Each structure stands twice: as C-alpha cells, then as structure tokens.
Amino acid sequence: MNQKLVYKNDAFEGYIGVAKEDITPPAGIYSRNWGAASHDVADGIDVPLRVVVMTLQSAPEERPLVLISLDLGWWKSAEDEWHIRGAAIEELDLTPDCVIMNLTHTHSGPGITSDDKDKLGGELIAGYLDQVRDAVLRACKRALESKVLSTLTWDYGRCSLARNRDLPDPEKERVVCGFNPKVSADDTILVGRVCDKAGKVLLTIANYACHPTTLAWQNHLISPDWVGAFYQTVEDATGGLAMFLQGASGELQPARTYTDDLEIIRAQGRQLGYATLSVLEGMLPPGQQLEYDGVVESGAPLACWKIVPASSNKKLYTQRVDLELELREGLPTLQELEQQFASCDDRVIAERLTRKMHIRRKVGNGATTNAPLWIWQIGDGIIFAAPNESYSLLQTSLRQHFNNRAVAVINLANGSASGYLPPADLYEKDIYQVWQTPFAKGGLEKLIETAKKSVKLDR
C-alpha cells in the first residue's frame, strides 16, 4: 500500500510560556559603539529596549528550555555575559544546555562591558547589568508561570532587507564594509508562531540574518535600530509578542545604513515585519496538515489536497558541542596590544586596539580556543546557536543539509563573540571580517561540518 503523501509546517506541541520586560538603560550611560563616533553618551532614547523570553516543556513538570532575546549589541567580556545567563541557569535550577541567550545586535545600545567603568558614563554599567539580570529573571519566571499547552509552528519566507556588505573599494586594493549591489545575499527568514489551543497567537519569532547597523556614529539615541519597528509591526497585527533572533549575518546588512535618520529604521523594521506577517498568512492552522486527496480530471489532471489533523511532536533534545578552533598565526599578545594602546593618541585606532585586547583575553595565548555550539531539537525543528559572527554560509549549508526541517541559526548566542567566521576563500583578501578575526582559515567550514554530524534526527 502506498504511503500517504502529506505536507505540514514543522511543529512542536507542548507547554510554552512567553514574557517580555523592559531593559532600557539609565540616562547618561556610556554608549560609544562606533570607532568614528565623537560622543560617548547618548542624548536620549529612541524606543525602549526589551528582553523577550520563551520557555518550552514537553510536560508541565519537566525541566524547561529557555530562549532569551536581548536588545543589546555584543559582549566583550565572558564574565559580563555569564552574569546574566548564569543567573538564569542558577535561579531556574537548570543545566547550561537548557538556556540560549541571543543578542539582537543593535549597534546603538548602551555599554555592557564592566571594564569600561572609567569612561564617561561607565560608572552606570555595573548597575545596568544588574538591571538586565533582574529583568531576565522576571521574564523567565513570568513565562514559566504563564505556560499553556501550545503549538510552535515554523515556516520559511523571504525578505530583501539583508544585502551583501563586502564591497570592493573602487579606490584601493581592499574590501570595505558596505552595500555591494553586485553580490546576492541570503534573504531567508524563518518564522515561528506560538498558538494556544484556541488558536490565539502568543508569540511570533523571526530568525533573520542582518546587521542592525543603520543607526551609526551620527546617531545620539539609544535604540534597538530597525528591530524596534519590527516588533511594533508584528505585535500590532497579531496581538501577541514578537521575538527577533539574529542569524548568521557576518556579511549582511541593509543597503541604507550609517545614518541617524529614524524614518529609515522605521521603514526597514516594517519591511521585516511585513515579510514575517506574509509567512504567517501562508502557514497552515496549528495542529493541521495537508494530505494528498487524489486527482480530479479536468482540462488538466488536478492534484487535490485536503486539510486533516496532524500528529503532534513533543520531543525536546539539547546538547552542547565543544569545538576547538585554530587561531591565526602571528596574533599579537595581550602585552603587545597593551603597549600599543598606551602609546596611541588616535581615537579610532584606540577603539580598534581596545577591541583586540578584549578578544585576546577571551581566546587566550594558545594555538586554539574553544568555540561552543548549542543544538536544540524542538519537535520537528532544529536550532543551532553559537557566540561568534558567522557568515551566512553557516545557515545556507545547514538548511540545505537538513532540507526537510525548519532550521534556525543564531549568531551572538551564549558567550562573548571572539570574532567573525568568514569562508576560507576570503582569507586572502584585505577585508575587515578577516583582519578582525582571531580564527584561522577553515574555522567556519569546521563549524558547519561539526553541526551536521552532531544532529541525530531519529531522536
């Protein structure tokens, strides 16, 4: 007997809770994230920053998985990141594999490095980190308290916001960081929808790869960048919360960037929001699938499908893979960087040296460094999360390999990013993501192969 031909959106059924909290920083906090910036402290707030939390359980008594999204830029210190994530793990009595904490990667956020305490407004950073920690804990607890039997459904779509940003300099033999109209970009968006048993949308997730770098050195406001307008667009339409998960965006950003024009980020956020809503409109209802229903002979033989109930998948599986990546030869030691910094009087070069010193502290002075990878199997879907800034080859490769699954790929998760992971063929070029990274050629490809081999789909 022939097996039934069916189609369904990848799904998980279980107890899901969602919550958000405000993490807008205090006035006067250090907020210089651009080397070209002439100011150290923002003049005000564009729109509030937030933390959004989703908890997942197969049954109410089981330990939860906790997914956290923060409207912040990037961690320079592993200790500062662990101050937040570690508190959630301890407070909820979880193991580290059960929590993924992602940064949306706004470049217009507050300082979150406690080592910057001596800079203008830096005295407020320690207190702000405590504020973020407490907000994360409140959101986690409220999500768990509000959990209900729900269905998480995934589907793919497209959004042209993300563009390639590796532009050959027309004046020099180098590649500069900006819109390259001649190279196509991965425009895939993965949308997740959480609905309760009555069909009410509780949360919409967008996993999309694109740098929020539209507001740049000219901007004097704390802002989630275009992510803020994405939230508003989706939430106004669905009535539920929205969550943004930053994808593998190493070479991706909008075409229009490096401005202080708030109307541009509003339009960009709506663009991603509308693309997300378009995917939602095309999704099957929760708990349903299409089943092939035979042929009707007409002017053409017409294949007919019908909607039928779908079986639920309640499986949750987590693992952490500790991957050793080689470091580049000839990296300056921390002591050498400190000596260069001490004699530097150029503001932009000093900022670059500061970042290099943070990276050296994270990776150590050995020949390799640990680059962990978190893998969650949520029903029929898979999440891959890692702290560094991978190029989009990571997500395109994994989605091609697991082509019958919904695959979310998350940069800037669980730890402080040490650097970019560009494809091996770019290492011969004078390009920012290559000369910035401490990782040797081939690191991205090793991460991809490790991720592929680590997933056992029969679980």
Could you report the per-residue pLDDT of 239-281, keeping only the tens digit for each?
Answer: 999 999 999 999 999 999 999 999 999 999 999 999 999 999 9
Q: What is the pLDDT of residue 422?
A: 97
Rounded to an integer, the average pLDDT of 62-77 is 96
Q: Which two tokens stand for residue 171?
A: 């004046």
Distance CA 425, CA 251 (A): 14
In a domain? residue 428: yes
Q: Name the region of 330 (left: φ>0; alpha: ψ -120 to 50; beta: rest).
A: left
Q: Report if residue 143 sits inside a domain.
A: yes
Identify whether 338 is part of a domain: no
- pLDDT, position 416: 83
Average pLDDT over residues 148-164: 97
336: pLDDT strictly greater than 90: no
Asked if residue 344 is part of any domain, the answer here is no
Residue 349 to residue 344: CA distance in whole angstroms: 7
30: which strand partners? 41
Range list of H helices, 316-368:
334-342, 347-363
> What CA–CA distance (Å, rounded) separates 181 from 211?
16
DSSP 39: -
DSSP run (H or E) holding 265: helix 262-282
User: Can you list the pairs that 362-365 forms with residues at least 24 positions away whose Cβ atoms lie under 8 Å?
Assistant: 362/77, 362/78, 362/416, 362/418, 363/327, 363/418, 363/438, 365/333, 365/334
- Per-residue pLDDT band for 357 (boundaries 50, 70, 90) equals confident
Q: What is the pLDDT of residue 314?
A: 93
Q: Is 180 inside a domain boundary?
A: yes
Band the pLDDT of 2: cuts 50, 70, 90: low
- Give residue 24's pLDDT: 98
Domain assignment of residue 303, yes or no: no
In total, how many domains does the chain have?
1
292 assigned to some structural domain: no
72 domain residue, yes or no:
yes
343 falls in which pLDDT band (50, 70, 90)? confident
Overall pTM > 0.85: yes
Positive or negative CA dihedral for 29, 363, 408, 392?
positive
The reported pLDDT for the residue numbered 329 is 85
Name 123's Cβ contacts closer than 8 Å, sequence gap at least 6. Answer: 117
Confidence of residue 202 (pLDDT cuts 50, 70, 90): very high
How many other CB atoms are there within 10 angstroms of residue 134's CB atom?
14
Task: State which residues form the domain around 157.
Answer: 6-287+314-327+367-454
Instruction: Round to whole Å and give the CA distance between 22 and 47.
Output: 11
Calpha distance 82→100 (Å, rounded): 12
Provide the β-strand partners of residue 152.
Answer: 12, 194
DSSP three-state, residue 431: strand
Q: 301 pairs with which residues across the strands?
A: 297
Closest CA to 44 of 33, 59, 29: 29
pLDDT at 165 over 50: yes
Q: Where are the beta strands (DSSP E) in 135-279?
A: 148-158, 163-164, 166-168, 175-177, 188-196, 201-208, 221-222, 241-246, 252-253
Sign of CA dihedral 208, 209, 213, 214: negative
What's the CA gap between 433 and 424, in Å, rounded?
12
Strand partners, 248: none
Q: Average pLDDT, whole number, for the chain?
A: 94
* Residue range 181-201, pLDDT digits in tens: 999 999 999 999 999 999 999
